[in-house]
Structure formats: C-alpha cells, structure tokens
Chain A
Amino acid sequence: MRDSALRSLVILELRRVERPLRRTLGLAAGAAVAITILGLATPGRMAFILLVLGMTALSAPVMGVVKDKLDGGLEFLVTLPVDRSLLAAARLGAGCILSVAGGLCLSAGFWLFARQSLPVTPSPSLALGVFVVVTVGAALSVGLGIGVSLRMQASRFANLLFGGFLVALLAGEVTRRALPGGTTMLLRVLAEPWFTRALAVALGLLVATAAWLAHWLSRTGLERFRPERDEPTW
C-alpha cells in the first residue's frame, strides 16, 4: 500500500506540472526553429534562448506548488491517510525529475555562453557541474516550497525570474560587447579543472544538506503545508 501510494504521489506530482512545462518547452523550441530558419541564429542568441528557457522551465514546478495551494490541491493531499514524509519524498523525487529539462537547457546555454566568451576552451565537466547543481537546486526549491508560505513562494518565483532575466541580459550583452577584465577573470576561473573538483565537493555538501532538510521537512516542515486559515494558534 505504501509503495502504491508513493508511486501515485510521484505520478501526480509529475502530471501536476507536466502541462505548463511542455507548453514552455514547445514555445521555446518553436522560437529556436524560427530563428534558425530565418538565419538569425548565432551562438549568442542561442545561449540567450537556452538560458531564458531553462529558467522558465525550472520555475514551472515552483509555480505548480503555488497554484496547488490556491486551488486546494495541497489541502487534498493532507487529507489522505499517508505519512507526510511520503508526501515530502514524492515532491522531492518528482522535483528532481522535473528539473532535468530546465537543467539541461541552462547548462547548454551556459556552455555556449562560456565557449564564445572565454579566451580559453572551458572544461566540458563545467557544463555537467552546472547541470547537476541547477537540477538539485531546483528540486530542493520545489521540495521546500511545500513548507513555506504562499508569500515566500511568490517572492522566490519573482527572484527566480529576475535572476533568469539578469543572466539572459548578460548573455545577450556579452555577445555584442567586449568583456570587462573582471568578468573574463571569473569565467577563466570557472573553466579551470580544479573548479570542477571544488564543485563536486560543494555538491556533496548540498546533497547532505538536502538529506537533512528532507528529514526535517518530513518531521515538522509539513505542518505549515496547510492553508493559513486553518492554522490554530497553539
């Protein structure tokens, strides 16, 4: 019963954001094809598209959490006879799966951006590192979205959009202008092989933190899962 409940929850989570995600990816793919056919494709423009697309795709699961809270979907989940740890596990698992597409787009965009902007060829593992960090980060963001208030989720989404906008703007600008010395230096550091190793260590720490957060979430965090109006004062 526990297995079938977990499977149902994960499928539900995947379906919850599958439609907006598919729509976003379809729109962006259409734009990319149009740009290519019209002969406007340059590495800078492609990087721009991929970065914006990646950020949008990663925001879909977060928006799904917000929408669920508004529509009463979350209220429904807490009425089911399952441990809240199972709900948290399903959300985190589905968040990981859903973040793959966005992570791929972002890392490919970053790779394109770095390749044309750097004076040296970046290490291929850099793109992989970016992909893993972005995917895990987004999954955590969705998982933690269960336990925080609607206002916090909205501000997180706004930050995500703002961050995506800034990255995209930078990518677009860099293709037209010469890089300032500081940026060149930063990108050179990012491309160094030792940076990848440091990234791996950071990732290990991130996973450990994620495990601890998931544990904490399953014990206490989901108390805040309910709509605000149902919060008693003791």
Chain B
Amino acid sequence: MAERAAVELRELSVRYPHFILGPLTLTISAGERVALVGPNGAGKSTTLRAVAGLVPRYAGSATVEGREVRDVGPRVRARVGVLPERLLGFGWITVAEHLELLASFYPTWDPAYADELRTRLDLPADTKLANLSKGMQVKLSLVAAESFRPPILLLDEPTSGIDPVMRGDILRLISECTAAEEGRTVLFSSHILEDVEEVAERVILLRGGRVLGDLGRDELRAEAGAGTLSKALYRRLTDA
C-alpha cells in the first residue's frame, strides 16, 4: 500500500522579480523528517512558504494532506506549524500575550502544553517581543509552531545564528516533538550540515530553485564512506 503523502509538490513554480523557484516535484510521506539543504537563495524558504500557503500565486500544484493549498487558503495553517526565518509578531506585546493571542486562532491549541514548552525553554513570560534575543525569538517561534500539535512542522533555518547551547536545546525539542507522536512530518531548511545530520532522515538538495538531489540517510552514509555525512553533503553541493 502506498504511503500517505503529507506534502506533495507537482511542478511547483513560484516566480519573483529576481528569482524563480522550480518547477519542483517532491513527495513527502507522513512521518518523515526531511531537510531542505542548499546555499542562500536556493529556494528553501520559498518552498516552505508555498507549503504553508504564504505565497499568494504559484504555478503547478502544492498539496498538504491531499488538499490543494490555494483551495483551502489560510485554513492550511491550522494543519501546519510554521517556524519562520525571523519571529513574526508585535514587538510591544509580551511573550505570554503573544501565545495567548495565538491560542484564539488555533482550534487545537493546548495552553498547558504551550506553558510547559515555554517554561522548559526558559522563555520569560513578561518580556516584550522586541527585547528578546535572536535565540529566544527562535525558541518562541518553536513554541508557537508546536503548541497546537500540528501534524506537519515547517521549520525555516531553526538554528541559524544561535549559540551552541540553545542550538542543542532546539534540536532536542524538535526530535522529541516528532518522536512523541507517530506520523508527524517535519520539513526543515538549514545550511548547517551538522544539524541536518542530527535530525533528518532524508535530505533534499536545492540550488538555484531546482532539486539537485534527493537522498535517504542510508544513501548518504554509503556515499560518505569513512567520512561524515556533513562532508558528503558538502561535496554534493559543491560538485554540482
């Protein structure tokens, strides 16, 4: 029996004035942890934005759990948790208010779970968003994306510009979130190859808006030989 697709892109293409993504064709099964890897400007963020329904117009098809994103509109975001490149919110509200505000928009939001995650990640409830450090902002975005337990998590550069301790916290939480419930899909972008090695079981290499390669962990291991997976990934990206 064919595995259920969590995300399916068919000839997806998004055109910006200075960049064209695609056409991309990808299928991500439910429960997979997939990394989008590539240099800056490869199209990682645009791909994630298209899946989250944040790209107003695209050609081809992008489906989430079998539904076309352009047809379901903003409702798709009740099924996908998004961690954007930078924290989105109002700088003048506090962390607690930000989470409270989000709770009113998601039918499956779990306030107790949100509070548990916030406490675990040492996020101060009374600090205004404008006063949070980069690491704290990522942590808050992760709490916001996870607190309604979406079946699909889209994480855009979750560890970029973060110190090693916070990075460890964040990666651990991502692994735990997906391990706790079966069938949860994670699609994340990164250019930190060590993070990819730690979290992903499948790697999609992007460059200039096109897919360079789509590799499973075993294939990467075989390719790496005695070296690390990171080195094998780096070689793939630079050889192309």
Which A residues are within 8 Å of any B CB, using their own CB? 1, 4-5, 7-8, 12, 15-16, 19, 68, 71-73, 75-76, 78-84, 223, 226, 230-234
Given contacts A81-B78, A234-B59, contact A76 B104 (CB under 8 A): no
Given contacts A19-B92, A223-B56, A226-B56, contact A79 B84 (CB under 8 A): yes
9 extra A-B contacts, CB within 8 A, seeds A5-B104, A79-B88, A81-B106: A15-B93, A19-B92, A71-B91, A78-B54, A81-B77, A83-B73, A230-B54, A232-B56, A232-B58
- When the two chains form the complex, which single residue of B17, B74, B76, B89 contacts A233, counting CB atoms closer than 8 Å? B17
Please state if A83 and B59 are interface contacts (CB–CB under 8 Å). no
Please state if A232 and B88 are interface contacts (CB–CB under 8 Å). no
Most buried by A among B49, B55, B89, B93: B89
Please state if A79 and B77 are interface contacts (CB–CB under 8 Å). yes
A-B contacts, CB under 8 A, total: 73
Given contacts A4-B104, A12-B90, A19-B92, contact A80 B77 (CB under 8 A): yes
- Chain B binding surface SS class: loop
Q: Tell me how far the C-beta of A9 lies from the nearest C-beta in chain B, rounded to whole angstroms.
A: 9
The complex places the Cα of A16 from the Cα of B90 at a distance, in Å, of 9
Please state if A75 and B105 are interface contacts (CB–CB under 8 Å). no
Contacting residues, chain A, for B15 (C-beta < 8 A)? 232-234
Please state if B75 and A81 are interface contacts (CB–CB under 8 Å). yes
Which B residues are within 8 Å of any A CB, using their own CB? 14-17, 49, 52, 54-59, 73-78, 82, 84, 86, 88-93, 101-102, 104-107
Q: Tell me how far the C-beta of A227 lies from the nearest C-beta in chain B, rounded to whole angstroms.
A: 11
Please state if A82 and B105 are interface contacts (CB–CB under 8 Å). yes
Given contacts A223-B56, A232-B55, A234-B15, contact A1 B107 (CB under 8 A): yes
The complex places the Cα of A19 from the Cα of B92 at a distance, in Å, of 10
Name which residue of chain A comes closest to B75, CB basis.
Answer: A81
Contacting residues, chain B, for A233 (C-beta < 8 A)? 15-17
Please state if B82 and A79 are interface contacts (CB–CB under 8 Å). yes
Contacting residues, chain B, for A76 (C-beta < 8 A)? 88-90
